[in-house]
Structure 1
Amino acid sequence: MKVGTADETGRAFLKAASEKKQHVGSETVVSVLKRVIAENGRDHIRGYVFAILCLIVVALSTAFTAWIMESVVNEAFANRRADVVWLICGAILAAFVLRGFATYGQAVTLSKIGNNIVARYQRRLYSHLMTLSVGFFAEARSAHLAAQVSQNVAGIRDVLNLTVTSTARDLLTLISLIGVMVSKDWVLSLIVFAVAPPLLYALRYVSRRLRAATRESVEVNSRVLGAMQETIQGIAVVKAFTMEQELERKVNGIIDTAERRANRIARLSERTSPLTETFAGFAISSVLAYAAFRSIYDGVPPGAFFAFVTALLLAYDPARRLAKLQVQIDRAVVNAQMIYALLDMQPAQRERPGAKDLTVTDARVELKGVTFSYASGAPILRDVHIVAEGGQTTALVGQSGAGKSTIINLIPRFYDPTEGQILIDGQDIAGVTKASLRHQLAYVSQQPYLFEGTIRDNIRYGRPDATDEEVETAARLAYAHDFILAQPFGYETPVGENGVTLSGGQRQRLSIARALVRNAPILLLDEATSALDNESEAAVQKALDTAMRGRTVIVIAHRLSTVVKADKIVVMHEGRVMEEGTHEVLAQRKDGLYARLNNLQSRENSI
């Protein structure tokens, strides 16, 4: 089986998944099955052995029911032996009771194993997603990705369970019933087998047609779920711009496509019904005609005939399930392949061999000749040289698209530079472990994100081992303590999805408190006040002033008034450093870029 190669974009994952879906043949089914067994078989060997034993009991008890029909008919109705009838009835009752308990045992066992496999792969997927780069998530639509993962993770479980149930129950049941049929009347068995090859050929043709339809259905259904999730997440924008009808038309179009795919699958799947029913009707009518003539003209007792017919009828269900098995396996393999395409993707920012932990002393950050471009696009940064001295504030200013946020993204190694180095206290961050690097950083974005849970939980994400006292101290420093106490349950108040119950300024101050409780020596601020009103900005700016004390701060400023006290201001334009200096020095330079930006904002504020 082909596996995903190292790639840093979500586009690569989607391409890899698409390529995998194009080749679902017998080799692929076998290779996926081998991998699933290798990853899960040993941990569940006892459960599968027990389930298989139960399924064997089900198969043998079913065959026994057909086999004993000869004795029922001959001894009860032909010979009229009452003493034997009681034994026969007792044996039949015991067989059904045994089959009932065996069915229950295998169903519960396989369900527990299946649920464990789903949970295991959900944990693996989440853990693996955490290792992938920010670039991956920038390319892969989150709603689409989440929908595909939730829809496809059950494919791993189905590959195993379908194989076990089909082999141990359906195949063994069918083989044992065929054995009963042959033992009772081999001529009748030949009549049945004569019409089987055309049926199998027809079912194989239908199965091949179903593969493509199944792949399309998986993709379209994930688009339906993804579109709905996106609408829910952006419901405020949807309503503000009265997008309901337009989005409804869009989603309805996707749903219509999904419905057509589902209807096509239903038509193809159910084509097996007329095929199998026709086969069963022809076989049974032929058997009845042959047996009737033998009984009428040759005086053959009917017991063997009834046992044969019983075995034939009982063999119908497992044969029908086995006929549909390839379709079900193909569908499960398609799902499993998409999961493995994601699991096999290697993180773009992998640790170098022998990577050491970052040791921070002065917290001096230096960019040396850094050039960077996203994917194969034009360079965003061009030969950038910046030094952020330890314990000082360095502000990055410039027009949109100048490359300021890109620098903030490079320092935590969300991306790696195309050329050049980023050094912290002289250590190249590409040669240290990502965990040790990011433990020395605290980050506040212009769009703070809060997670499901309480206010206390969200602040403590900055440092999970922080005490309640440390959490509350950080909240006080972030000027968040008072509004937190005003909430219905104080620090234990649930924040809702992404802090929907809080204002923008409140969410931003919680984000700052989260950065403060981390107590990291380097603080990254990405336009932390640009989206706030004046009152909220004033409160957040107080919190930022507290957060910046004694730390190396790299701040992106939208409003120049927020960085006039910075130790150094770096002016950027089209990915290059144009000017450096303090506010006083840069503002006095005639025709300087910073001076023009400062004068422009001063005029806007005076209007």
Structure 2
Amino acid sequence: MSKREKVPKEPRQRRVKTPESAFLNEWAKRQTKRYRLVQLLGIIFTVGLVAQAWSLANVFSDLVIDGAFSVSLLLIAFSALLIRALASFGRERLSAAASRSIRYTLRKKLLSHLTHLGPSRLKIDEDAALSTRVYEQVDALDDYFSRYKPQLFMVSLIPCVILLAVLPVSYIAFGVFMMTAPLVIIFMIFVGHKAAQANRRQFRVLAMLSNQFMDLSQGLAELKRLGRTGQAKQRLSDSASAYQRTTMGVLRLAFLSTATLELFASLSIAMIALYLGLGLLEQLPWDKGQAPVTLTQAFFLLLLAPEFYLPLRQLGNDYHAKQKAEAAATALLEIFNTPTQDAQTASKDDAIQSHLSIVKTQSTSLLTFQALSWQQAGRTRLAPISNHIREGERIWLSGESGVGKSSLLHLLLGFEKGYQGECFVYNEPFSILDIAQWRGRLAWLPQTPEWVNGSIRQNLLLGIQPPSGQEIQTALEKSQCADFIKALPAGLETKLTELGAGLSGGQMQRLSIARALLSNADVWLLDEPCSGLDEDTTNAVLETLNSVSKGKTLLVVSHDTHPISWADRHWNLTHGGLHEQSIQAIA
């Protein structure tokens, strides 16, 4: 079940720069050059529009009055039409390129941020919902950057130019334009806010549906065993129906907005046509016997009237794209606003003062903990630890659930902050450490190894420099993977799913060990590497770890039920702190 998204309070009629609009504007500024070219083409388009209307008005009036027309004016009209078509084509191509570039860069930045968050990403939402944000909600920004953003300039340019062209011709037509245009804009904003709320509901339901689908696919075998597939199917069907209802709600608002804007525009054009028709017939109630405009001017006004409302109607159609983009931006900002633990977590000055305030031993310890603990929201996440780990030492860390064994590993991975006490790496405070360089030395083996859809080879080489074939074979032999991989039909090219379908728990753990060997990491962090394995498989995996980890620095989290007799030291973590025990006594 995805976490409910906190919907910010919608601004009313006054203009308030929300974080979402600031976020969208910031990304739009990255394509300033393209958008300026779009604006230049928009100016050319507008000039061509007025020139076309003027030349066609003269052609039509000459045909009615004289029965002939000027070929040069007709050529001007066709040339203006061609210029408008080329300018419109160029605007669309440039706008689409700007949107594509923004979304590509944004998606890369999102993935990078989620990578640096590591396990902390689950504080935001589950992986399925996060993938929906990265793909679906980033693509939801397309219409904003490719249509709405360029149209904002056109909606201010074209009506203003037309008003300037109409003012010397007819004050009445100018007044009609001025009175009706604000009605279109006001209704567009009103419907747009309703569309924004509907889009936020739609995104929330889509995230929930994604999470449920992932949960169902991962637990399908267990559901079949328990005979609960019917309930799971009904739950998924209910979520799909909810998504369908929210989608139809968004579409209803979009169609309502379009229909109403078309109605306002049609009525306004009809008012202009009625005024001009009665004027040419000299039947205006306040000016009988006289025509307020000539036939050429009437044609000119009639040709410009639809063009005056067209950008407003297009903006109204695109306004729901803005609201959809702001709804998506809310979810994306939640990701970016979740801080990562990088080298810049604490300022240099504060870190140096903290460094100088603690008397450190001049030992050669790789890791030194001084009263290291972690309190979060009034809850103890990690009991106090004071000890050290020398380079090449293998430490077995045991303890009851909830004392912070896994939390300690997450701290050492650099994914958490806000801890108390100090942690040193070669006497350098962890808070000023180059996290990227430190992670380059680490191999992380979680309770459940994570895989991607791809071959075994691709999973082994993910994120590391491609080794030679001999190095891969050596790592497989050391981790005792060579035999079962050789027995697979496609060998190293055998496809894996995210759950490692087709492999046993022990085989997946051995592949994780092989991956750690190929990374050439000298510091290994292992979180319950034998969790869920039977006793024989556990003993085999631990024996493999013993043979391949000699010379490495290991911190292995494991329960007392599986003693690690080959470890150099045994730490027992309790709520009262860390205690060192004899391995022989437990074994």
TM-score bracket relative to the smaller structure: 0.7 to 0.9
- Residue type of the partner of 1:487? L
- CA drift of 1:122 comes to 0.8
* Structure-2 residue corresponding to 1:591: none
Q: Indicate if the aligned counterparts of 1:146 and 1:226 stay in contact, CA closer than 8 A.
A: no
* Per-residue Cα deviation, 1:34-56 (whole angstroms, up to 9, x for no partner): 66555553x53442233223222
* Per-residue Cα deviation, 1:457-504 (whole angstroms, up to 9, x for no partner): 333347425433322211111011233333344334443434324332
- CA drift of 1:378 comes to 3.0
Provide closer, same or farther for how the CA distance between residues 198 and 368 of structure 1 changes in structure 2, counting only shifts above 3 A: closer
Given candidates 44, 69, 72, the residue that maps to 2:31 is: 44
Alignment map for 1:506-521 (pairs within 5 Å): 506-521=507-522
Distance 2:47 2:64 in 1: 25
Q: Indicate if the aligned counterparts of 2:365 and 2:391 stay in contact, CA closer than 8 A.
A: yes
- CA drift of 1:200 comes to 4.4
Given candidates 109, 114, 132, the residue that maps to 1:147 is: 132
- Residue type of the partner of 1:433? D
- Residue type of the partner of 1:222? A
Does 2:325 match 1:332? yes
* Structure-2 residue corresponding to 1:320: 313
Alignment map for 1:389-468 (pairs within 5 Å): 389-416=390-417, 418-461=419-462, 463-464=464-465, 466-468=467-469
- Residue type of the partner of 1:146? S
Distance 1:551 1:196 in 2: 74
Does 2:447 match 1:470? no
Alignment map for 1:158-557 (pairs within 5 Å): 158-162=143-147, 164-273=149-258, 275-297=260-282, 298=289, 302-324=295-317, 326-348=319-341, 350-351=343-344, 352-354=346-348, 364-373=366-375, 375-416=376-417, 418-461=419-462, 463-464=464-465, 466-533=467-534, 536-537=537-538, 539-557=540-558
Name structure 1 gaps, 5 residues minimum.
1-10, 588-607
* Structure-2 residue corresponding to 1:18: 6
Q: Indicate if the aligned counterparts of 1:122 and 1:153 stay in contact, CA closer than 8 A.
A: yes
- Residue type of the partner of 1:335? A
Provide closer, same or farther for how the CA distance between residues 438 and 286 of structure 1 changes in structure 2, counting only shifts above 3 A: closer
* Structure-1 residue corresponding to 2:43: 56
Distance 2:131 2:12 in 1: 23
* Per-residue Cα deviation, 1:264-315 (whole angstroms, up to 9, x for no partner): 4444444444543443444344334333333334585644323322222333
More moved, 259-268 vs 123-132: 259-268
Distance 2:80 2:88 in 1: 12
Provide closer, same or farther for how the CA distance between residues 549 and 280 of structure 1 changes in structure 2, counting only shifts above 3 A: closer
Distance 1:127 1:501 in 2: 30
Name structure 2 gaps, 5 residues minimum.
283-288, 353-361
Q: Indicate if the aligned counterparts of 2:124 and 2:335 stay in contact, CA closer than 8 A.
A: no
TM-score (norm 2): 0.83
Q: Indicate if the aligned counterparts of 2:220 and 2:229 stay in contact, CA closer than 8 A.
A: no
Alignment map for 1:88-127 (pairs within 5 Å): 88-127=73-112
Distance 1:296 1:465 in 2: 84
Q: Indicate if the aligned counterparts of 1:55 and 1:169 stay in contact, CA closer than 8 A.
A: yes
Distance 2:404 2:111 in 1: 31
Q: Indicate if the aligned counterparts of 1:402 and 1:575 stay in contact, CA closer than 8 A.
A: no
Provide closer, same or farther for how the CA distance between residues 434 and 252 of structure 1 changes in structure 2, counting only shifts above 3 A: same
Q: Secondary structure at the match of 2:392?
A: coil
- Residue type of the partner of 1:311? L
- Residue type of the partner of 2:200? R
Distance 2:87 2:47 in 1: 11
* Structure-1 residue corresponding to 2:286: none
Q: Secondary structure at the match of 1:570?
A: strand
What is the percent sequence identity of the aligned residues? 21
Q: Secondary structure at the match of 1:497?
A: coil
Provide closer, same or farther for how the CA distance between residues 90 and 346 of structure 1 changes in structure 2, counting only shifts above 3 A: same
Q: Indicate if the aligned counterparts of 2:35 and 2:150 stay in contact, CA closer than 8 A.
A: no
* Per-residue Cα deviation, 1:385-423 (whole angstroms, up to 9, x for no partner): 455454343323344445433333333344357433344
Distance 2:521 2:178 in 1: 76
Q: Secondary structure at the match of 2:480?
A: coil
* Per-residue Cα deviation, 1:214-265 (whole angstroms, up to 9, x for no partner): 4333333333334334434444444444444333433444444444444444
Q: Indicate if the aligned counterparts of 2:343 and 2:434 stay in contact, CA closer than 8 A.
A: no
Q: Secondary structure at the match of 2:550?
A: coil
* Structure-1 residue corresponding to 2:59: 72
Provide closer, same or farther for how the CA distance between residues 170 and 414 of structure 1 changes in structure 2, counting only shifts above 3 A: closer
- Residue type of the partner of 2:268? A
Q: Indicate if the aligned counterparts of 1:391 and 1:553 stay in contact, CA closer than 8 A.
A: yes
Provide closer, same or farther for how the CA distance between residues 476 and 397 of structure 1 changes in structure 2, counting only shifts above 3 A: same
- Residue type of the partner of 2:231? E
Q: Indicate if the aligned counterparts of 2:258 and 2:317 stay in contact, CA closer than 8 A.
A: no
Q: Indicate if the aligned counterparts of 1:380 and 1:574 stay in contact, CA closer than 8 A.
A: no
Distance 1:198 1:36 in 2: 27
* Per-residue Cα deviation, 1:493-544 (whole angstroms, up to 9, x for no partner): 4434343243322221110011122333333332222323456445433421
Provide closer, same or farther for how the CA distance between residues 384 and 266 of structure 1 changes in structure 2, counting only shifts above 3 A: same
Q: Indicate if the aligned counterparts of 1:442 and 1:523 stay in contact, CA closer than 8 A.
A: yes
Distance 2:77 2:6 in 1: 52
Distance 1:273 1:522 in 2: 61
Q: Secondary structure at the match of 2:379?
A: coil
* Structure-2 residue corresponding to 1:597: none
More moved, 29-38 vs 167-176: 29-38
Q: Indicate if the aligned counterparts of 1:462 and 1:515 stay in contact, CA closer than 8 A.
A: no
Q: Indicate if the aligned counterparts of 1:363 and 1:391 stay in contact, CA closer than 8 A.
A: no
- CA drift of 1:195 comes to 4.3
- Residue type of the partner of 2:373? T
Q: Indicate if the aligned counterparts of 1:452 and 1:495 stay in contact, CA closer than 8 A.
A: yes
- CA drift of 1:380 comes to 4.3
Provide closer, same or farther for how the CA distance between residues 482 and 343 of structure 1 changes in structure 2, counting only shifts above 3 A: same
- CA drift of 1:318 comes to 1.8
Distance 2:180 2:246 in 1: 32
Distance 1:30 1:409 in 2: 34
- Residue type of the partner of 2:564? V
- Residue type of the partner of 2:484? F
Distance 1:522 1:282 in 2: 75
Root-mean-square deviation (CA, aligned residues, Å) is 3.6
Q: Secondary structure at the match of 1:384?
A: strand
Q: Secondary structure at the match of 2:450?
A: coil
Q: Indicate if the aligned counterparts of 1:369 and 1:420 stay in contact, CA closer than 8 A.
A: yes
- CA drift of 1:349 comes to 5.5
Distance 2:12 2:220 in 1: 39
Q: Indicate if the aligned counterparts of 2:398 and 2:571 stay in contact, CA closer than 8 A.
A: yes
* Per-residue Cα deviation, 1:299-356 (whole angstroms, up to 9, x for no partner): 8564432332222233332221234555443332333344334324432455444589
- Residue type of the partner of 2:67? R
Q: Secondary structure at the match of 1:371?
A: strand
Q: Secondary structure at the match of 1:443?
A: strand
Distance 2:60 2:104 in 1: 51
Provide closer, same or farther for how the CA distance between residues 151 and 25 of structure 1 changes in structure 2, counting only shifts above 3 A: farther
